[in-house]
Amino acid sequence: MTLQDLPQSSTVRSRLAAGLRDILPLAVGVGVYGLAFGLLAAQARMSGLQTGVMGTIVFAGSSQIIAVERLVAGAGAGAALLAGLALNLRLLLITASLRDEFAGRPWWQVLLGVHLATDENWALMHAMRARGGCAGYWYLVGGGLGLVAVWVLSTVAGATFAAVVPEPKSLGMDFAFTAAFIAILRSLWSGSAMLLPWAGSILIVLLAGRFTPLDPTWTLILGGLGGAAIAGVMGND
């Protein structure tokens, strides 16, 4: 690592703040899902402490939902763990694609960065950069810190005040992330070279979802890898 790679602490602060600010609309959606997860945690007889610890050290919403739902359904801890883990395999692709952000960083920053990497702040970082914005490691971490705070607070609140929490669907909030990812896709579109890889991804997901009994996790991974493979093989750089 050379000297100019070390950002000034004021630059670090401003990037952290930018990540934190830009994640806000997504954090509202995460908060609503946090409340819903808290409801589920209460059904699993989890305490506020357990819910908060889980949100902090697992920090992967959809896998927490699946795993605790399995627990409520009477599956053992092992089966619940496997279901949650399967859903998290896509995180492997997410942190793999963060290679350039982690290059040359000290080990504690890498460990912090991988733990805070989620669909939301990772996608937002790529979208921001595709639009010409300056978004890298600290932008990702700023968004991640905002998300972890909102996730822990909302899940603990949901578990504690389970009786008065509304269903996300009744507020249309079940659609919040679909809309957010559509906006992020718009920012990631960078020209006709992406037409074939993107069409490939859509086709793979449609075919796998329609004609195979594959679990959603594998469908997503197949779609993502399939599109990336097309982009790799086409080779026009």
Find the binding residues for other proteins in span 22-61 (CB under 8 A): 22, 24-26, 29, 44-46, 50, 53-54, 57-60
- What residues from 155 to 214 belong to the interface with other proteins (CB under 8 A)? 171-189, 194, 197-198, 200-202, 204-206, 209
Please report whether residue 1 would count as binding other proteins according to CB under 8 A.
no
Closer to other proteins by CB, 16 or 23: give it. Answer: 23
Q: Does 227 interact with other proteins (rule: CB under 8 A)?
A: yes
Pick the closer one to other proteins by CB: 11 or 199. 199
Please check whether residue 80 is in contact with residue 67, taking contact to mean a CB–CB distance below 8 angstroms. yes
Tokens of 180: 């957010």
* DSSP class of 33: H
Integer-rounded Cα Rg, in Å, for the chain is 19
- Shortest reach from residue 184's CB to other proteins, in Å: 6
Instruction: By CB under 8 A, name the one of 6, 17, 73, 89 that touches other proteins.
Output: 89
Binds other proteins by CB under 8 A, chosen from 111, 161, 166, 167: 111
The rounded distance, in Å, linking the Cα atoms of 144 and 149 is 9
Q: Which of 75, 119, 112 has its CA nearest to residue 97?
A: 119
Q: Which is nearer to other proteins, 127 or 141 (CB)?
A: 127
The upper half-sphere exposure of residue 43, i.e. CA atoms within 13 Å in the direction of its Cβ, equals 15
CB atoms within 10 A of CB 157: 17
CA–CA dist 144, 150 (Å, integer): 10
Residue of the chain from 17, 92, 134, 195 that contacts other proteins (CB under 8 A): 92
